[in-house]
Amino acid sequence: MSDPLPKLAYLVNVYPAPSHSFIRREIRALEALGYSIERYSIRRTESPLRDPDDQEEATKTEVLLDAGVLRLFLGLVITAVRFPGRFLRALKMAWKLGWRSERGLLYHGIYLAEACLLRQQLAQQSVQHLHAHFGTNSATVALLCFLLGGPSYSFTAHGPEEFDKATILGLEDKIQHAAFVVAISSFGRSQLYRWCDARDWPRIHVVHCGLDASYLEQGHDPVSDSNRFVCVGRLCEQKGQLLLVEAFARLVQYCHPQTAELVLVGDGPMRPQIEQRIRELSIEPHVRITGWASGDAVQQELAAARAMVLSSFAEGLPVVLMESLAMERTVISTSVAGIPELVIPGENGWLVPAGDVETLVNAMQQVLDAPLQTLQAMGRAGRSRVLDRHKIQTEAAKLANLISPNHKVKL
């Protein structure tokens, strides 16, 4: 008789959150494989949780900062008294990471206090392995918790922040002490290779973000006979919507002054600036910004579009590209990070250099000129690629095999 599956915990900087549905899918897929999982978040999201699934996850999630200053301080003191050797080791790491970080020593002292509280709670719940998402503060707390005597840990690095700030995030230390590390693309794995000793490369593995049945099993409508493009993403510098608006204005001016449409699905800090630029370009009748949208609303917007367009300057591997292709909607995106591993030019979409307005305009024009049959064939090819690479049950099984190698799950 085989040993029982280890009890797990997940740690995320903000969970649940509207943009972290892929983490929820991963947790639930692991639970479907028989794992018991505790959820932890460092802080609460500032965005309202409108999705019922997120609301349900919130009831299952312990927020470390909700403990308050007094409880965190007492946990720090108690840990230092009871486990002075472990505490000193973790304190040295917190000092090392804090000294070279953007946030400084004070924040890393708070991370140490959070790690003390987390170690105590994980021990009470008999958690045997901790998995964190993102190589930022959540991985810092997981590392400090481990040095305090907590369970083994692993983390998933998404990018681009981890790769842009690898040194100040202490990525090398986090990789060195982890049981294993997950990258969401081959590109991401190569970036992790850059920031750690080659002896640690074997512990870095690719596990893709996965989609569930709502995208992979239900039927989808044919490509819309419209001139509508949809872009889904947070309205921020990284996603490049300001450049997309510039490109779309040229498309309207020179090619399709009456019929072209652009829908920006999402919200974020750059919304006022984007709205102002839309007015300056006199394309208000052609552009709609939806604000935050539920998963069902995103699907409806994708279904009504001729193609999905994402003009990002930096990425990991955007889930929305997987969702669009799963719905048999071809995509235009930039050739950055892991995107070329999913989007194959001429087969299931278009790739353009990041920041190149003219090439983006040309790609959008090609989408408008392409027969619907061609777009439909490209959409089917995209769906096939997503089914091969981004099925949540398969990707969760890969992760499970890393967590518990003695309980191999057939892929």
Q: Give the tens place of pLDDT for each residue, 164-205.
A: 999 999 999 999 999 999 999 999 999 999 999 999 999 999
The pLDDT of 237-254, averaged and rounded, is 94
pLDDT value of residue 156: 98
How far apart (Å, rounded) are the C-alpha atoms in residues 352 and 357?
9
Q: Which H or E run contains 205?
A: strand 204-206
Amino acid present at 118: L
User: Looking at 115-119, 159-163, 254-258, which range is the least confident one?
Assistant: 254-258
Fold of the CATH domain 8-210+391-403: Rossmann fold (3.40.50)
Q: Is the pLDDT of residue 1 over 50?
A: no
Question: Tokens 């009748």 correspond to what residue?
Answer: 285
Quote the pLDDT of residue 224. 85
Strand ordering across the sheet containing 152-157: 61-63, 37-43, 8-14, 129-133, 152-157, 180-183, 204-206
Token digits of residue 389: 């690479």
For the cut 90, the answer to whether the pLDDT of residue 215 exceeds it is no
- Which pLDDT band, with edges at 50, 70 and 90, does 216 fall under? confident
Domains 8-210+391-403 and 215-389 share a fold: yes
Fold of 215-389: Rossmann fold (3.40.50)
Using the 8-state DSSP alphabet, how is residue 6 labeled? P
Q: Which amino acid is at 312?
A: S
Q: Where are the domains of the chain?
A: 8-210+391-403, 215-389
Q: What percent of the chain has pLDDT over 90?
A: 86
- At 282-309, the pLDDT tens digits run 999 999 999 988 888 999 999 999 999 9
